[in-house]
Structure 1
């Protein structure tokens, strides 16, 4: 493949000059998608994506749905690089069968999302949203909050972001309970975390924070039954994926006063528009701190993930391997075996 023919299409906002310069130095032609204000690639349909990606060998993608149909329409596309770590919207089986490489920006946004999770815990416990609303209304009466200091925090999922959250919690002298399918005894000995099952974690935690991938097994892992197991007044934080929580059940629990509040960066309505009214009701509540799936969206975090995605694209176009932690599908060997 001639260097001058390397076309890389970016369908994400906030793709910085350093990442563009890196791609161009590797001989890539970089095309940034023309998105309307407020528009994201997750809302683009097949036809529009296919038109944007004509002739592209590399695609740096956000939350667009990468289907078999789309991949078949793009025979020149060699690498799909997620500027993020989730990949549930990519048909990995199709990508592998069609000889494509799919990567994630492993390690790029851990710190940013972990900071957000901790920030949400503090904001909920200290009732920042409620206090400012009262002050805006002219009342300076003090609302009693609760500390994060020395509380019990349950962390579901022990990946890179979960570990980053745990690292930050050490400064609060929190007792940390962890539910994971892959317990690491050495990590527990080093950090003092305690491995428990999900039921025990829910029953004993003052704060529960989710850092698990969305799979058929984890979908709605926090539903009405799980919420009933949580301590009265506990806080739920979800900066991972909307489908981990039944938002309808969460709303009902908040309305009933069972939970102290929720910090939500992700919502089921992102992939199921029929639940938009549930999302609207959640974000209107004074006991909910909400963000529009922005956990990774800091200047520093995006700069890191942009560069990781760019390096993955260049590696594949050079016939090399991206870092192992970044590869989630690699169909090159499969195609070679068929040949």
Structure 2
């Protein structure tokens, strides 16, 4: 049994018993923070987070904003471990300055997100929502949809999720175009993926799927100009981050028929509640398939990411190093 502060606060829902047992066996004291019904940790205020985290050495977090002000008020906190791979809501510079470690759960959810992306493509292409709504109203008329089979799919961002998507798409015999800052020519030769510029990808793709991280360079990578370059019959899929797509511009494009439809799992309004009306208008469109940032939330995917996040916490509390691919900030003095 290890000594010292080993209190680990979990502010995420759906935290499985096997991971709780792992933390306990590692000498930690896991505490599941109580959340108001229907809310996630992203809804908690600064004060509410502080009250739950005071005295904790580890924090397994979902979508809460991890600010400099909050970290400064939590001197006992050693590690912030995200159950997910995005970290745009974490002040990494503050974590480094204050001697803390920030980790992400790399390798835990990319298969689930790739599955979800395929589901969005098929659902919007085959007009499942429109058809079922018509049937509920008594109209069983057949609506013609669009195949994914042998189409051209453009993938923006070819990391783990993008590559998992390529693997799934191989069964549909599609042509895959990729736009990515990092090129893997050996992978491209093996899979038949072709790296192209963004404009070519937009102009040629029947489905455009966004899987890039949200950075100042990628913010609104799909805006009015990009949407105008897509095929009129094309579909846009965003299961990555709100902010990669200009939702107001997308709403205009869908209403105008600039593109055929969209499959959305993330929204700008997640970070800016003032944009809720835009999100509401998008999800009410008949040619939009929408889910509530749920792509990674399969039972299996959450179990995997829970364990990756927990292993990072244990490593830091043990004074060792988490898996290198999981560390995005390390303020410990070495």
Q: TM-score, normalised by structure 2?
A: 0.99
Q: C-alpha distance in 2, partners of 1:29/1:125? A: 47
> Which residue of structure 2 aligns with residue 285 of structure 1?
285
1:231 aligns with 2:231: yes
Alignment of 1:1-339 (within 5 A): 3=3, 5-333=5-333, 336=334
**Which stretches of structure 1, 4 residues or more, deviate above 6 A after TM superposition?**
none
Q: Over residues 248-300 of structure 1, what are the superposed CA-to-partner deviations in whole Å (9 max), with x where a residue is unaligned?
A: 00000000011110000000000111110000000011100001100100000
In structure 1, runs of 5+ residues without a counterpart are none
Given that residues 129 and 286 in structure 1 are in contact (C-alpha distance below 8 angstroms), is that contact kept between their aligned partners in structure 2? yes
Q: C-alpha distance in 1, partners of 2:102/2:163? A: 24
Given that residues 4 and 29 in structure 1 are in contact (C-alpha distance below 8 angstroms), is that contact kept between their aligned partners in structure 2? no
In structure 2, runs of 5+ residues without a counterpart are none
Q: C-alpha distance in 2, partners of 1:153/1:231? A: 12
Q: TM-score, normalised by structure 1?
A: 0.97
Q: C-alpha distance in 2, partners of 1:55/1:144? A: 58
1:214 alignment partner, SS class: coil
Q: Over residues 173-198 of structure 1, what are the superposed CA-to-partner deviations in whole Å (9 max), with x where a residue is unaligned?
A: 00000000111110000000000011
Q: C-alpha distance in 1, partners of 2:199/2:299? A: 37
Report the aligned-residue RMSD: 1.0
Given that residues 155 and 162 in structure 1 are in contact (C-alpha distance below 8 angstroms), is that contact kept between their aligned partners in structure 2? yes
Q: Over residues 275-332 of structure 1, what are the superposed CA-to-partner deviations in whole Å (9 max), with x where a residue is unaligned?
A: 1000000001110000110010000000000000000000000011111110000111
1:107 alignment partner, SS class: coil
